[in-house]
Amino acid sequence: MTTDYILQQQEDLRKMKKLERQAERLKAAWNAKEALDEENASKARIAAKEARMRGEKPVAIKAPEKPVIESAVAPTVGIVVEQKTPKAKVTAKKKSAPKKKPTRSKK
């Protein structure tokens, strides 16, 4: 028999996984857009340089605007995720072995 707090934890885990997958898709789309913007900017610079070499007036290059990313996904669900900070490992000091008393040989 499953208790309701375990069912709630499972449901929360499903929601978190769904949000993580959505965030990964958004990040991949964002990276693809940035790569495309960089490529277009590079092509524009090359075209301007070629125009200058031909003696023509180069076309003005406009820098692409980068919108601010807002974290609107996490607050809408209402799930608080505790992030564990890595703690420094505390190791006990090793004690040195006790000094052995010299053994006397029998005569």
Burial category of 41 from C-beta neighbours within 10 Å (exposed 0-12, middle 13-18, buried 19 and up): middle
Q: Is pLDDT above 80 for 98?
A: no
pLDDT of residue 33: 96
Q: Could you give the CA distance from residue 21 to residue 15 in angstroms, rounded to a whole number?
A: 10
pLDDT of residue 71: 53
The arithmetic mean of pLDDT across residues 9-29, rounded, is: 96
pTM for the whole thing?
0.45
| pLDDT band at residue 42 using 50, 70 and 90 as cut-offs | very high
Q: What burial letters (b/e) apply to 18-38, b meaning 16+ CB within 10 Å?
A: ebeeeeeeeeeeeeeeeeeee
pLDDT digits (tens, 9 = 90+) for 44-84: 999 999 999 998 877 666 655 665 555 554 455 455 555 55
Distances (CA, A) of 62 to 4, 19, 25: 57, 35, 28
